[in-house]
Structure 1
């Protein structure tokens, strides 16, 4: 879980604020000292910002004020320019698709590849973020409301509605700041590992790619083609595995449905709030008192989500490596750079944890890559990619720990030839696997009984023969 409850975060150190000594703040609310004119200016700015937030209060009826989130994100982002043109991106995408064709049985998934600015990324991905954030925010809000005694609800009356709007604005503000940070660093529409953008549309962010390339010792054209191949591979998977997008988003929703709040913390929260000092409310929320509790059901959902994301990223990692290794001199170095970028808990993982309340473990990426590589080497790309035909055929978290056993099980239970023939009928494959399992269990039971009945005759068996 994230260190802070969803929707509440520490002030941005880059922006400073009333409690930022570097910007003339005192570090304490309502303290004396300093230039009175500065204090009045800060008060005026605060009231102006509060007025803007309140003016947005009625524009969203959901648990998160997405209008405010979008407004904040776009205001924080600069109009960064790029020297990259559309022709270069189209050529890179076309080349990447040609190289991917022999590396996977999945055909091209993107009908077009766009150039997005950071602001375009916010605008195009916000609908998906809304689907990801709504269940978490709604469940947290409902947990807080249900924890209140009925008498308190009746006495509060309209105040509860106002608190709901304030909560929506707080969530929206946090979401806007987080999206701005992420939009300033993502390289493609699928950089987070989730299908955030519109269907069948690939996207590269040239300004961010140029910043990323500045820290590498590789030509910009090489980096562009490599990233275009990763984006194209993601699009192939999301386009031709119809259940995948829904399963990823539904798993987040399943996690959110199990959120509960420790109701005993409400009394402690009330004791820390001074109605005459609004700063105490923010401090109490930042203390983590109302951080949702993790249940066993949530842990199971989180494990499934981590495994599924690892399998997606691992498959893309292997397929792209096979497609470009002999064509791009720096392919292995770029592959390792992006692996480390994910494994370091970079902006994508941190922002996802802040927005949705989930901590992802990208260390599973290497295990998933090893599994897909092993399956491809032993059974071919048809069997490897055919595993995506049905979610029940996918490796589990235990399989990531022992990829060799999974590869051997494919040979023993499914059979490479039969499995490839039944890619269009995953139910038949599942039924065959179940029959093989029952037969294996029957043989094991028979072997367990055989020594007891035949042991006395073993020593003389050769004499009879």
Structure 2
């Protein structure tokens, strides 16, 4: 087995190897003169700071600890984003896969780390920002803003850079506020993901009979999907009906988080982001186009199409619930694990309103 370099614990996946591979394979992305890059970094930091108060006003959410920042902001390149996500994945799987340790070998852990690292390297060119509430349980979550990707997309779309950077930060700081105002949420989601991954690993006949290396491929993809709120298709064929429903309900909560953030970022309005309508139109067109044929294949392999559907399903849920019971009524969703929507309720928001509000 491979002891984790950060914790010293035995790990099924060599996360240090995953971080190393991800850092090496992640492409650097678009470049600019040094002065422009300095402005990009400072602009993203300023946008992240400016976004917090408007999001609080729009959502009605209040941090549990008003004295603490809702997030620690890091402006990163692609390799650093990829390496940071190995830390997230390590945290999300810790203790969930102990039953598989006996039949694995150190070389298998290295192979698993390489596969996870290569996948993260591919994803690193497609993420504008990410809020990580999982890997630092004793402090504020990390907001990772991927500077070269923000630069590339704002150039591609031909949008106002300052407005676009603030728009991106409004989405990510909404995620930060979701977790800052609901202290139980990160542990709840991580626990559900660990339980599901461990249960699938122990109980699935197809999975239990697979070679260890094949297990690692499946686990790596499943964990990555769980971190990004995807995963339904990746586990098809190795989950039973009960596990499939648990996975669907976990994905539904991630749809809520993403849709809520999408609605908030647009609700701030032209007073703060004057070109918000133009940005949204161009961004949606980019989502729908799918790029080249190779890009479309890669999107499907990485689950990006599922992610796009998730944004839209979650946003539709948030808008209909708000229309029926108002912002305060929607915010009942953050009361406890019991008030989170199920997969059926995300598809039928009226069912959630009936269950929670009577």
Verify same fold: TM over 0.5: yes
Q: Does 2:22 correspond to 1:65?
A: no
For residues 173 and 99 of structure 1, do their structure 2 counterparts lie closer, same or farther at Cα, with a shift above 3 Å needed?
same
Q: Does 2:210 correspond to 1:299?
A: no
Q: What CA deviation, in whole Å up to 9, does each residue of 1:253-309 have, x standing for no partner? A: 12212232438967xx8xxxxxxxxxxx99xx99xxxx9722223212211111111
- Aligned-residue offset at 1:170: 1.1
**Structure 1: which 5+ runs fail to align?**
1-52, 146-162, 270-280, 354-358, 414-465
Q: Could you say what the CA RMSD is over the residues aligned between the two structures, in angstroms?
A: 3.7
User: Which residue number in structure 1 is paired with residue 89 of structure 2?
Assistant: 129
Higher radius of gyration, 1 or 2: 1
For residues 387 and 184 of structure 1, do their structure 2 counterparts lie closer, same or farther at Cα, with a shift above 3 Å needed?
same
| SS across alignment from 1:178 | helix
CA contact (8 A) 2:22 2:82 kept: yes
| SS across alignment from 1:324 | coil
Q: Distance in 2 between matches of 1:369 and 1:106?
A: 17
Q: Distance in 1 between matches of 2:281 and 2:195?
A: 33
Q: Distance in 1 between matches of 2:62 and 2:22?
A: 35
For residues 197 and 131 of structure 1, do their structure 2 counterparts lie closer, same or farther at Cα, with a shift above 3 Å needed?
closer
Aligned residues: 310
**Structure 2: which 5+ runs fail to align?**
64-68, 219-235, 291-295
Residue among 336, 341, 346 paired with 1:390: 336
User: Which residue number in structure 2 is paired with residue 46 of structure 1?
Assistant: none
CA contact (8 A) 2:23 2:80 kept: no
| SS across alignment from 1:185 | coil
User: Which residue number in structure 1 is paired with residue 79 of structure 2?
Assistant: 119
For residues 264 and 327 of structure 1, do their structure 2 counterparts lie closer, same or farther at Cα, with a shift above 3 Å needed?
closer
Q: Does 2:253 correspond to 1:308?
A: yes
For residues 168 and 84 of structure 1, do their structure 2 counterparts lie closer, same or farther at Cα, with a shift above 3 Å needed?
same
Alignment of 1:34-433 (within 5 A): 61-79=10-28, 81=31, 83-85=36-38, 86-107=41-62, 110-133=70-93, 145=103, 164-190=105-131, 195=133, 198=136, 199-256=140-197, 257-259=199-201, 260-262=204-206, 293-335=238-280, 350-351=301-302, 362-407=308-353, 413=358
State TM-score, norm by structure 2.
Answer: 0.72
Q: What CA deviation, in whole Å up to 9, does each residue of 1:169-218 have, x standing for no partner? A: 1101101111222223311123xxx6356434323111111112222031
CA contact (8 A) 1:72 1:173 kept: yes
CA contact (8 A) 1:306 1:360 kept: no
- Aligned-residue offset at 1:250: 1.8
User: Which residue number in structure 2 is paired with residue 34 of structure 1?
Assistant: none
CA contact (8 A) 1:189 1:197 kept: no
